[in-house]
A and B are shown apart, each in its own frame.
Chain A
């Protein structure tokens, strides 16, 4: 910052306020145009530097003010509060009437509400722990509820609307195809490219099909598709249900005796756990195609040779592992988004927070499930 500017700020401040002492009582003279001040003086600073000595009062004089700006009122109010804390009273003199009126309006009313006391550390820790236990119990409840209602859903006895389910299948399935296509082809191509460059140095370029095929089917296609669905569908579900909650729409459902879980969460759970594995198969195939294209361009491998190598290298179990994981990811995304959405608070900020929380929870959950699955398949030697 140029030196001249700092000086000008100081000058402005000094022109706005001056402290004198009249027969022992400190008098704060306010002057000039506070509306134009770049940085008006801070009341806390003035209160700290004011030497009240043994005086129990301070006078604020506004005779030299150019105009009645609300900033002056805010300053005097803050100064009076700050001095009040050290039992010094503030008197005003010659303040413009508009400013005095504003200050009077801001003075506390006799029935000012009591500030709620912040609970102690122990109480806060206890509450947080209790809250966590509550969340754990609710989650267990939710999973149990979902399992218990699955037969009703399959037999069509659940309180859900068939049309909602069809629309949800379209939204989660068909409508997700473009983004699933793009991401999986590119992931396959990236895997192919990295693999091609590395394998080529050992003259092992023909094994590229093994690398791309196994990586896509076992891991990448399932994980990437789940990430996409967490961001695309999980966030949508959470925001939708949270908005319904804040509009009292969930209450309206309860009033006609409908369980919000059955009516809203169950069709979403069914749609996602049905569509996720299908999207995975589609995504894995496209990722392999992506790798095949790169193999053709970089290594000059003919597509038919790539497919033949793939047949030798891969077994059905690679696809089964990815398939089963993608069902688990679908259940995770549906349950966590519906749980978070239905338990969100009743305001606009909570809707956004619910969407964000869902995505974060889903990403962590997806990676955790994947890690556990990797350990299990390794131990089982699959």
Chain B
């Protein structure tokens, strides 16, 4: 993949070099190298259990690989320098698969906490920021509700509001449309794209929802669980026509040859 090596020295954006993911002796993925351009939406796709979420957890430093590099705007992600680490952390927002809203706090407190801990904003300004961030995701005026009182789609929106609380440069989404009906899921896709445009975010999404992939992705990578590495890289609209067989089958929702049928 020549085009990939050309991109390996991006000054802005994320570069992943020769990453190897494993749980103990079990190899998940290896030889992962790709670049993510600023202000684009990058989708990590693949069948269930191929290591998509594991890759995401490594990219946000919740898990550490024994081999390989992840570089954000020229800065190594894995560092022992506390200040550098905190600075980088501030620039990363995450929407977890289960939304992970802190269940003992109201929606407003959830969005406010990162600001209380990381900025010197006063209570009034934080309240204004919370109201603004909630309005951005379409939850205006819902500050005082508890996460458990919200519907699934609203929880995702609240999770998004918390993820963008510190105005990050990078937004990571783990299965954003999991458990949502097609209409809510489509609205969430539209919201993600609006946020990307308005806040100039780089969005990295893990998903296997085909409509989502085709709607939001500018660029993508396909993690294969047979060869344990990425076998395709590029715009999914192009991959669906020209990609390797397995990627085309995945993107067209077609059965793969019988010998490769995975146990579900």
Contacts and interface: CB of A to CB of B under 8 A. Distances in A.
Interface in B68-108: 85-86, 89-90, 92, 94, 96-98, 100-104
Interface residues of B, number: 28
Given A244-B103, A249-B102, A251-B62, A256 B97 contact: no
A257 B103 contact: no
B50 interface: no
B234 interface: no
Given A109-B263, A255-B94, 8 more contacts: A248-B97, A249-B100, A249-B101, A251-B96, A252-B102, A256-B89, A257-B85, A257-B89
Interface string B223-264: 000000000000000000000000000000000001111110
B127 interface: no
B259 A111 contact: yes
A240 B102 CA distance: 11
A247 B263 contact: no
B262 A111 contact: yes
B117 interface: yes
Closest 9 CB pairs of A and B: A248-B100, A252-B100, A248-B96, A256-B114, A257-B89, A249-B100, A255-B94, A257-B86, A248-B98
Given A247-B100, A257-B86, A257-B117, A252 B94 contact: yes
A113 B85 CA distance: 40
Contacts of B97: 248
A86 interface: no
A110 B103 CA distance: 45
Interface string A250-289: 0111111110000000000000000000000000000000
Contacts of A252: 94, 96, 100-102, 162
A247 B162 CA distance: 16
B261 A111 contact: yes
Interface of A: 109-113, 159, 161, 240, 243-244, 247-249, 251-258
B118 A257 contact: yes
Contacts of A244: 102-103
A249 B263 CA distance: 31
7 contacts: A110-B259, A111-B259, A243-B103, A248-B100, A252-B96, A255-B60, A257-B86
Contacts of A159: 117
B39 interface: no
Contacts of A110: 258-259
B113 interface: yes
A255 B226 CA distance: 31
Contacts of B263: 109, 111-113
Nearest to B60: A255
Nearest to B162: A252
Most buried by B among A110, A111, A249: A249
B157 to A, nearest CB: 16
Interface in B140-168: 162, 166
Nearest to A110: B259
A243 B148 CA distance: 14
Contacts of B90: 257
A319 to B, nearest CB: 36
Interface in B111-127: 113-114, 117-118
Contacts of B101: 249, 252
Nearest to B174: A248
Most buried by B among A113, A159, A161, A247: A247
B178 to A, nearest CB: 12
B86 A251 contact: no
A191 to B, nearest CB: 40
A216 B94 CA distance: 53
A324 to B, nearest CB: 32
Contacts of B258: 110
Nearest to B90: A257
Interface string B48-64: 00000000000010100
Nearest to B95: A252
B88 to A, nearest CB: 10
B91 to A, nearest CB: 11
A61 to B, nearest CB: 30
B94 A109 contact: no
Contacts of B113: 161, 256
Contacts of B94: 251-252, 255
A357 to B, nearest CB: 22
A247 B86 CA distance: 23
Contacts of A111: 259-263
